[in-house]
Amino acid sequence: MTLSFEEISAVTLDITEPLKDLLNWRWEESRQVMLSEFANGKAEQTLAVLRSNFVDEWDRKTIKKAPKELKTQLGELAKVTKEQKLFTRPATDTQPAVLAIWWPWGHGATLSLRLTILKNSYEYAPQLQTENKFVTFITKFFN
């Protein structure tokens, strides 16, 4: 699937518009993503916009619970390291599935944010924890 800056931009306006005074976007041809590189001081506001526009947020621990079809599609990106995050939202009747890649640089002063369209959608329903950990521990202990 070949993507363009215009296609991704049209689908991600709900993300890029609130950040237009904060971030500048450019096209990264090799990955077919919109890319913004910015100072750490803009991180909090940018994260707030991402969290309000994405259904799922994945980090090093939670990516293990992601649907197999999503992890397969993400490939190497599914190997999330300590500070990295992936934000996804499944497709709707009118919009394709979208991925945001949150990538802090090693020195901590700069971050990258990449936006793209996922080739396939996914379904994810987090398991609700109906028991607290203490009850689970006691149950396992006495069984």
Contact predicate 76/70, CB 8 Å? no
The one-character DSSP state at 18 is T
Domain range for 50 is 5-142
**What is the chain's mean pLDDT, rounded?**
91
Contact predicate 103/115, CB 8 Å? no
Specify the range with the lowest mean pLDDT, choosing from 1-5, 19-23, 66-70: 1-5
**Per-residue pLDDT for 43 more than 70?**
yes
Mean pLDDT of 55-83: 95
The pairing of strands 56-58 and 33-39 is unpaired
DSSP string covering 67-96, please? -HHHHHHHGGGGS--TT-EEEEE---SSS-
Mean pLDDT of 55-78: 96
Q: How many domains does the chain have?
A: 1
**Per-residue pLDDT for 82 more than 90?**
no
Amino acid 130: pLDDT: 43
pTM: 0.85
Mean pLDDT of 108-114: 93
The one-character DSSP state at 125 is -
